[in-house]
Amino acid sequence: MSRLLRAGTALLLCVGLLLPLSGCGALELYQRLLIHGIGVDRAGDDLVLTVRSSAGEGREEAFSCRGATVADALVQLTRSTGRRPFLAHNYLVVLGRACAEHGLTPDLDFFIRRSGTRPAVELYLARDTAGAVLCAQKDGAFLKMSQLQELSSAAQEIGLGEAVDLLGFENALLTPGRDPVLPVAAVQEGEVVLDGMGFFRGDVLAGFLPAEALRGLLAAQNRLSGGEAVVPGAAGGSATLALTRCMSRLDPDPADPLRFDLRVELLADVAAYPTGERALDEAAYAFLEQGLSAELEGQIRSILRAAGEAGCDVLGLGSTVYRRAPQAWRDLEDRWPQLLPQCAVSVTVSVEVRRIRQEVRYSAR
Amino acid sequence: MHAQRSDIRTGQLFTLLFVAQAAPAILLSGRSTGGSDPLQGILSVGLTAAAGLVLTLPVLLLRRKTPALASRGPFALLPVVYIAGTVWLDGAFLGLFQVFLQDTVNPDFSARMTVTLLVLCAAYGALRGLECVARCAGVIFAFLLVGTGLVLGITATRMDPGNLPPPFYDGCGQTLRGTGLFLSRLSFLPALAVLFPRAKGGAARPLLGFAGGLAALYALILLLLGGCLGPYAGTQNFPVYALATLTEVRSMQRLDAVFVGVWFLVVTARIALGLTVCRACGQSLAGDRGAVGWVLGPAAGLLLVTLLVSEVRPVREVLLAPGPQLAILLLLGAGVPLGRLGRLRRAERSAP
């Protein structure tokens, strides 16, 4: 092959490959609806979608559309806006309470199968409707979707909530002996706030966990990584403890698969003390430790009671048996939701407040 | 017998084979590994690597005895059989790759046109020669390591041991099924049989590096599929791509495009290898005449098989069936070299 012919062929092939791979001939940006957030509500047999998208120059816009399925509603959206939805940068999906009470599988299936969506999209459960959450305005401006996406992540960092994405929700649904949870978003005075967690039996909403109990949920699942806890001080008032490390372990009883031992160990620092003392005595430290451990134990027991009565295994007791004693799990699997209220969980929370002992007393002048 | 040029070193050849054999990794799924237990999948990969090493022995031994793919006597049509086998195996793979592009990547451009251009690029490389394809594969190997390492390294931060099922919960059937399925994808065997005589240098270290590296790559991908995606992987047609979509580090998101881009290069190298094998087979029949025909003809056949696999479901089920593929690989990759080796040894023994 002559050199000229080789060069010409190579150039032709390069240009040929560049054209389709760069998307030439694809839609222009103005022909696309860049979706950042989707809300799904149920209205009878139909679904109502609330879509938040970027309108350019930092502005956001919201649309509403209706259809028999999520895909059908998005088609209606194209008919009304003239733009094709682009889902690759969708940050989050908010699911309305009615959808959760009906069962989430039909509504989430679109996000699992559809190309262009991704498993890392954040999920929220609306206390009322997803439309209200996505269309909440303060001072005439929509809440940015990136901010809403960060709400649950930030809450998890401070130990007051749990971030759940589509991957995590589906895995909790599909893993034997586990039931999923979702952070609850509510609108209060024009602002979107996190208001506890919803727990599910399968894909159907079964109840709510209050925000006050969520630190216990995270601690039991070995996901508590930080935050501040307010506990009574030994001499009255309230002290603040900064949580620095948490390790928990859930062990089934080898002799009885319905008995479990949950041990939580926490390390904390004194962040604020009501009397302003720097050098605390041993009794004060012990009082703080006992206060926090009692609080967390109470939270964990309330979660076990509330979820267990609904047959929901939010702490993954069943999945622990599934992984540690698979033979025993084979006998229990089909009856697990009925056996769950009978499970006995021994909860032990031990808190260590770090004693630095570097405080120096200055004598008064 | 035609004189064979030693075009490349064995290290280059095995790098090329590594890149080509890594190509199917993007299409891994529970169906292609025989089940969802990653531990059994990793065991299958190990067993396949060991079996693959054993199956290469006839080719290694044959190399010392005869440099050429014989085209006389009872083996006169052998090169044609190798060409047909290569077109079948590579065409079936490319057809499944096209289905992956259409179904999962879902680009706004024609997947069929992209695959056609990919084959034309590969054909150009094959026409330039084995050395050109091997050097290119060396560059692609670097991209593969860096690109895959980046994407899988970021994804690994989402590893959750709670996603892994208890080992052997459903018995050890998956290990056996998985080994059979992986063996049916050892497409490097026929290529090695044809091209190994043209490589210079020792084979032991490159071969062990090839087998160990490939096993490590597949084992890592299976472990991440199980530990990061967990049961969610079973909801996806091509879960490796879903794994790549998890990559996000601060503002760096959706690095799955990087992953697919790297795999385009990998698939191009694989097809170029296949067409180079076809050209080498043609050379053993007709010398250096008609090189263009010996490349473009199989390329056209490859595109036809790709079209049938991607568009015609009954044909897809036949061409993608692991049983016939395994039979072709064992025949061309080990059976024929073993037969030739036996014939040569008998000739040596009966020689005065």
pLDDT in tens, A144-179: 888 888 888 898 888 888 999 999 999 999 999 999
Please, are residues A255 and A325 in contact by the beta-carbon 8 Å criterion?
A: no
Type of residue at B60: L
Tell me which residue in A26, A115, A175 faces B109 most closely, judged by beta carbons. Answer: A26
- In the prediction, which pLDDT does B1 show? 35
* The total number of residues written for chain B in this structure: 352
Q: A13 and B117: CB-CB below 8 Å?
A: yes
Residues of chain B found within 8 Å of residue A323, distances taken between Cβ atoms = 162, 164-166
What is the phi/psi pair of residue A183, to 5°? -70, 145
> Which residues, at least 6 apart from A121, have a Cβ–Cβ distance to it below 8 Å?
A90, A91, A92, A93, A111, A165, A166
**Percentage of the residues of chain A whose pLDDT score is greater than 90:** 58
Residues of chain A found within 8 Å of residue B162, distances taken between Cβ atoms = 175, 316, 319, 323
> Ranked by mean pLDDT, which of A48-62, A120-134, A350-364, B236-250 comes out on top?
A120-134
- In the prediction, which pLDDT does A72 show? 93
- In the prediction, which pLDDT does A22 show? 62
Question: Within a 10 A sphere around the Cβ of B89, how many other Cβ atoms?
Answer: 25
Question: Strand A344-353 relative to strand B199-200: parallel, antiparallel, unpaired?
Answer: unpaired
With helix as H, strand as E and coil as C, how does A29-55 read?
HHHEEEEEEEEEEEECCEEEEEEEEEE
B254 pLDDT above the threshold of 80: no
Q: A21 and B264: CB-CB below 8 Å?
A: yes
Interface probe with B: pick from A13, A29, A166, A320, most Cβ of B within 10 Å: A13
Nearest to B215 by CA among B51, B32, B36, B10: B51
E strands present in A296-353? 344-353
Residue B29 — pLDDT band, cuts 50, 70, 90? confident
Residues of chain B found within 8 Å of residue A16, distances taken between Cβ atoms = 117, 120
A20 pLDDT above the threshold of 70: no
pLDDT in tens, B30-57: 888 888 899 999 999 999 999 999 999 9
Type of residue at B173: G
Whole-number mean pLDDT of chain A? Answer: 89
Mean pLDDT of A120-133: 94
B74 pLDDT above the threshold of 90: no
Residues of chain A found within 8 Å of residue B120, distances taken between Cβ atoms = 13, 16
DSSP code string of B243-309? HHTT-EETTEE-THHHHHHHHHHHHHHHHHHHHHHHHHHHHHHHTTTTHHHHHHHHHHHHHHHHHHH
In chain A, ranges of CATH 3.30.300.210 domains: 211-365
Which tokens is A184 given?
């609850």
Whole-number mean pLDDT of chain B? Answer: 88
pLDDT in tens, B172-200: 999 999 999 999 999 999 999 999 988 88
A258 pLDDT above the threshold of 60: yes
Which residue on chain B is closest to A20 by alpha carbon?
A: B109
Which tokens is A92 given?
């989050």
What are the Cα distances from residue A277, in Å, to A235, A238, A269, A352, B23? Answer: 11, 13, 14, 19, 66
What is the phi/psi pair of residue A254, to 5°? -60, -30
- In the prediction, which pLDDT does B303 show? 95
Query: What is the interface size between A and B, counted as CB pairs within 8 Å?
Result: 85
Residue B4 — pLDDT band, cuts 50, 70, 90? very low
What's the rounded Cα separation, in Å, for the pair B199 and B201?
A: 7
B140 versus A19: the higher-pLDDT residue is B140
pLDDT in tens, B209-232: 999 999 999 999 999 999 999 999
B249 pLDDT above the threshold of 90: no
What is the phi/psi pair of residue B248, to 5°? -155, 125
The interface residues of chain A toward chain B in range 145-174, judged by CB-CB distance below 8 A, are 167, 170-171, 174
CATH of B11-333 among 3.40.50.300, 1.10.10.410, 1.10.3720.10, 1.20.1730.10: 1.20.1730.10
- In the prediction, which pLDDT does B69 show? 60
Q: Does A21 touch chain B (CB under 8 A)?
A: yes
Nearest to A355 by CA among A290, A284, A264, A275: A284
A183 pLDDT above the threshold of 90: yes
A202 versus B75: the higher-pLDDT residue is A202
Smallest CA–CA separation between A145 and chain B, in Å? 15
- In the prediction, which pLDDT does A284 show? 87
Which tokens is B100 given?
């992956």
What's the rounded Cα separation, in Å, for the pair A68 and A327?
A: 43
Share in percent of chain A as helix, strand, coil (round to 5):
40, 35, 30
> Which residues, at least 6 apart from A237, have a Cβ–Cβ distance to it below 8 Å?
A274, A275
pLDDT in tens, B106-136: 766 788 888 999 999 999 999 999 999 999 9
What's the rounded Cα separation, in Å, for the pair B33 and B24?
A: 12
Q: Which sign does the torsion angle of CA B220, B222, B227, B229 carry?
A: positive
- In the prediction, which pLDDT does A114 show? 86
Q: What superfamily would CATH give domain A211-365?
A: Nutrient germinant receptor protein C, domain 3 (3.30.300.210)
What's the rounded Cα separation, in Å, for the pair A321 and A229?
A: 32
Which residue on chain A is closest to B121 by alpha carbon?
A: A13
Question: Within a 10 A sphere around the Cβ of A254, how many other Cβ atoms?
Answer: 10
The interface residues of chain A toward chain B in range 335-364, judged by CB-CB distance below 8 A, are none
A300 versus B249: the higher-pLDDT residue is A300
- In the prediction, which pLDDT does B352 show? 65
Domain ranges of chain B: 11-333
- In the prediction, which pLDDT does B349 show? 84
- In the prediction, which pLDDT does B124 show? 94
Tell me which residue in A1, A89, A174 faces B232 most closely, judged by beta carbons. Answer: A174
- In the prediction, which pLDDT does B3 show? 40
Question: Checking phi first, is residue B34 left (phi over 0); if not, alpha (psi -120 to 50) or beta?
Answer: left
Smallest CA–CA separation between B342 and chain A, in Å? 40
